[in-house]
Amino acid sequence: MHSFRIADLCINVHGNNEYILKRMKDYSIQPVKCAVNVKIEHCDSINLPENSYIIDENGTLNWGSKANGEKGFYAFKKMPVTEEIADLLDTDEDWENAIISLLNSDIYKDREIDPIHAIAFDLVGTVFRNHILFHDGIVIHASSIIHDGKGVIFSAPSGTGKSTHVKMWERYKGAAVINDDTPPVRVIDGKPIVYGSPWSGSSDKNQNGKAPLEAIFILEQAPHNSVCRLDNQEAVIRLMPRLFLPYFCDKLMELALKNFENIISLVPVYLLKCRPDKEAMDLAYQCIDNKKM
């Protein structure tokens, strides 16, 4: 058993999957009793549970709701060509106990990293991002930094220049990236906190840290730099597409949206129309430094 603390939540992973342990090593703690337990097992074949419905999440992950009065969910992916179940996530309704089943296969034997193990790592992240909903939190598709002990989030569609903007904060302000792709945010004692986590996209830039969340910036490409604070309604409209939301369950969706609305009621959200230059960074910095707008 291996224990990890992420966003001040403890997770036990049962099973010696070296890829997962390597990716999560910076969050490792001494083994303790945790509310969340994820068991990883390897199987020669994987059968799906009976379901009440199945939905396809953007062609990448199939979700099911358990049938016959059993509460909980499952998600799975299929092998290319053979259509065998490659991996299966089976979890209870509170996302506290989960089993990840991985198919034994030699289809990827020539690859340095078996993508099935990478998928398993992502599925542990799926457990985390759904469990955090029960602890006043949510995961946002964004890049987050710590500057002078304050947390700042920059969100934008891919290709907008988010990485370029964050690199300028690192270069000119000495900021540090806490999570470059999917930072978790929780409200604790009425204060929003942004955290690092091991799930940080292709860049894999993250650190095991946290900071009070001072501001959220939504970046939009423009010929001239400008910034304005959004009201809550506009913030919801612009940030909703950047959230990791549990579309497969109405109850979880309600919880996720409640957490999100709580966060933006406590944190100013700005629209930063910008070019990829230092002036845009300075505009964002002034909002935080002067608490204006």
Decide if 226 contacts 283 (C-beta within 8 A).
Answer: yes
In the prediction, which pLDDT does 293 show? 35
Inter-CA distances, 137 with 189, 239, 253, Å: 12, 15, 12
Query: Cα–Cα distance between 260 and 235 in angstroms, integer?
Result: 10
Q: What is the pLDDT along the chain (293 residues), one digit of tens a residue?
A: 899 999 999 999 998 778 888 999 999 999 899 999 999 998 888 888 877 677 765 556 788 888 877 889 999 888 777 778 888 999 999 999 999 998 886 655 555 556 777 888 999 999 999 999 999 999 999 999 999 999 999 998 877 778 889 999 999 999 999 999 999 999 999 999 999 999 998 888 999 999 999 999 999 999 999 999 999 999 999 999 999 999 888 999 999 999 999 999 999 999 999 988 999 999 999 988 765 43
The predicted-structure confidence for 185-225, as pLDDT tens digits, reads as follows: 999 999 999 999 999 988 889 999 999 999 999 999 999 99
Residues whose CB falls within 8 Å of the CB of residue 8, separated by 6 or more in sequence, listed in order? 186, 188, 195, 210
In the prediction, which pLDDT does 292 show? 43
In the prediction, which pLDDT does 207 show? 96
In the prediction, which pLDDT does 70 show? 84
In the prediction, which pLDDT does 128 show? 97
In the prediction, which pLDDT does 67 show? 82
The reported pTM is 0.91
Q: Cα dihedral angle (26, 32, 33, 38), rounded to 10 degrees?
A: 40
In the prediction, which pLDDT does 18 show? 84
Q: Cα dihedral angle (23, 38, 45, 115), rounded to 10 degrees?
A: -20
In the prediction, which pLDDT does 270 show? 96
Per residue in 100-126, is it b (16+ CB within 10 Å) or e — as a string? bbbbeeebeeeeeebebbebbbbbbbb
Decide if 44 contacts 220 (C-beta within 8 A).
Answer: no
In the prediction, which pLDDT does 37 show? 96
The Cα diameter of the chain in Å comes to 60
SS3 56: strand
Decide if 145 contacts 166 (C-beta within 8 A).
Answer: yes
Decide if 5 contacts 29 (C-beta within 8 A).
Answer: yes
Token pair in block for residue 263 = 């966060």
In the prediction, which pLDDT does 56 show? 65
In the prediction, which pLDDT does 190 show? 96
In the prediction, which pLDDT does 142 show? 95
What are the structural domains, with CATH classification, of the chain? 2-135 (no CATH), 137-290 (3.90.228.20)
HEC sequence for 125-165? HHHHHHHHHHHCEEEECCEEEEECCEEEEEECCCCCCHHHH
In the prediction, which pLDDT does 152 show? 97
